């Protein structure tokens, strides 16, 4: 089903917000509100977009971006479905509003883009909730709407985001997931180089979509291109603009880990833990604290500050065990294994054996079972001697 989700994902992103010129005041308000959303300043953003609705009652932008506030609330804690219903309701409001506009003017570009965008985001949440058939229906419904809008406004730089994402992933995903190839016969072919070019154009020149373009460039360079320098470049742009966005900050830390830059990673994840302690929005989540504690612990392990490493690996385990209904994570498994190894090094053999056996009782992660078993075998041989 995840492979099907990848294909649906391509469809749902074959769009992006495009606004007809409404004047510099309109643009300024929209950009301010978007930046407030990315800055996780939701109350300010809501005030901004409700003001936009008041000043431009016949334009769908304000209603759409009010829904995007809830999308980011969901994004900060994707396992929590608390905001799902209100998000769906707000999208339905935008869809109805846009359809009313299109009844009077079928070529209204703004209504077409926000209609397609609303259906697309509805599908994105349905993918997140593994409602595959409904998500597929959203993809099929959104695509022709957005194609029509793009034909009416071909020079819109923000539109390049949607086409850039599609062009890149339409070429890359069939190579990464060969089972998808037959399904891609029903879709236009992709062009990875063109996709990156389009994304870079939006990242540098887009008015409303530049930050989202930077996010996708960061993630594609990280996940598929394995180009850590380029991923870091875009992550630094995002964290510089939005220093208190936990999604962007955690990506910046992960990229530092991939580069082996443990000093930077340690600094970033310690800041994450401080912000969590200070209860900044989006930081005080168990999964956020778990990840941060793990990487801080790992840096202490690398620098042989083993007592400190134990403290943070134990914190990682505590946070992991408090997350309900979740498969044992790599963070939990590795933390347990590393604590066992540290206990082993400190000649606390009984404690080490306990942790190694716990690893064997968990699911296999990487070579966790073989490592734990080899450590146990070595301890058994030591006892025989």
Q: What is the DSSP letter of 224?
A: I
**First vs last Cα of the chain: how many Å apart?**
52
d(CA 276, CA 272): 6
Token pair for residue 101? 């506009």
Integer Cα distance of 218 and 223 in angstroms: 9
* pLDDT value, residue 254: 98
pLDDT on residue 143: 73
Q: CB within 8 A of 307, min separation 6: which ones?
A: none
Render each residue's pLDDT in the chain as its tens digit; 385 residues: 455 555 555 555 544 444 544 568 898 999 999 999 999 999 999 999 999 999 999 999 999 999 999 999 999 988 889 999 999 999 999 999 999 999 999 999 889 988 988 998 898 898 888 887 787 788 778 778 877 877 888 777 777 777 788 888 888 877 777 766 776 666 677 899 999 999 999 999 988 889 999 999 999 999 999 999 999 999 999 999 999 999 999 999 999 999 999 999 999 999 999 999 999 999 999 999 999 999 999 999 999 999 999 999 999 999 999 998 778 999 999 999 999 999 999 999 999 999 999 999 999 999 999 999 999 999 987 765 5
Question: Which of these, 351, 329, 350, lies nearest to 339 by C-alpha position?
Answer: 351
| CATH of region 2-156 | 1.25.40
Residue 18 CB: number of other CB atoms within 10 A? 27
Q: Which residue has the tokens 């598929």?
A: 224
Q: Is 105 helix (H, G, I), strand (E, B) or coil?
A: coil
Q: Would you kindly state where each structural domain of the chain is located, as residue ranges? A: 2-156, 285-384
Distance of CA 80 to the CA centre of its chain: 15
> Residue 108: what pLDDT?
92
**C-alpha count within 13 angstroms, C-beta hemisphere, residue 201:** 17
**What tokens does 371 get?**
């490592």
pLDDT at residue 21, rounded to an integer? 45
**Measured CA angle at 330 (ends 329, 333), to 5 deg:** 90
Domain 285-384: assigned CATH number: 1.25.40.10
Rounded Cα distance, 303 and 297, in Å = 10
Max Cα-Cα span within the chain: 88
């Amino acid at each position: 089903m995840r492979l099907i989700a990848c294909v649906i994902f391509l469809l749902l992103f074959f769009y992006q917000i495009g606004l007809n010129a409404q004047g510099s005041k309109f643009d300024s308000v929209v950009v301010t509100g978007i930046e407030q959303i990315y800055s996780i300043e939701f109350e300010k953003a809501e005030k901004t977009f409700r003001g936009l609705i008041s000043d431009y009652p016949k334009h769908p932008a304000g209603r759409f971006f009010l829904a995007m506030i809830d999308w980011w609330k969901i994004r900060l804690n994707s396992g929590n479905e608390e905001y799902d219903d209100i998000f769906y309701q707000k999208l339905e409001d935008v869809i109805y509003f846009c359809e009313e506009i299109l009844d009077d003017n079928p070529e209204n570009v703004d209504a077409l883009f926000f209609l397609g965008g609303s259906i697309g985001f509805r599908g994105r949440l349905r993918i997140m909730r593994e409602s595959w058939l409904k998500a597929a229906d959203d993809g099929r419904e959104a695509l022709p709407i957005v194609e029509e809008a793009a034909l009416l406004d071909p020079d819109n730089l923000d539109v390049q985001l949607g086409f850039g994402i599609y062009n890149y992933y339409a070429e890359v995903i069939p190579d990464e997931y060969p089972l998808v190839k037959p399904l891609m016969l029903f879709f236009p072919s992709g062009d990875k180089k063109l996709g990156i070019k389009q994304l870079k154009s939006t990242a540098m020149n887009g008015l409303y979509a530049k930050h989202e373009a930077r996010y996708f460039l960061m993630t594609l360079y990280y996940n598929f291109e394995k180009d850590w320098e380029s991923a870091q470049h875009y992550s630094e742009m995002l964290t510089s603009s939005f220093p208190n966005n936990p999604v962007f900050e955690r990506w910046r830390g992960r990229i530092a880990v991939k580069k082996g830059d443990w000093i930077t990673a340690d600094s970033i994840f310690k800041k994450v833990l401080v912000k969590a302690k200070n209860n900044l929005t989006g930081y005080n989540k168990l999964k956020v604290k778990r990840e941060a504690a793990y990487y801080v612990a790992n840096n202490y392990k690398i620098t042989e500050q083993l007592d400190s490493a134990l403290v943070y690996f134990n914190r990682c385990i505590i946070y992991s065990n408090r997350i309900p209904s979740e498969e044992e994570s790599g963070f939990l498994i590795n933390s347990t294994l590393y604590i066992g190894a540290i206990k082993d090094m400190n000649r606390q053999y009984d404690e080490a054996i306990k942790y190694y056996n716990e690893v064997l009782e968990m699911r296999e992660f990487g070579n966790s079972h073989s490592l734990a078993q080899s450590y146990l075998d070595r301890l058994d041989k030591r006892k025989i001697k």
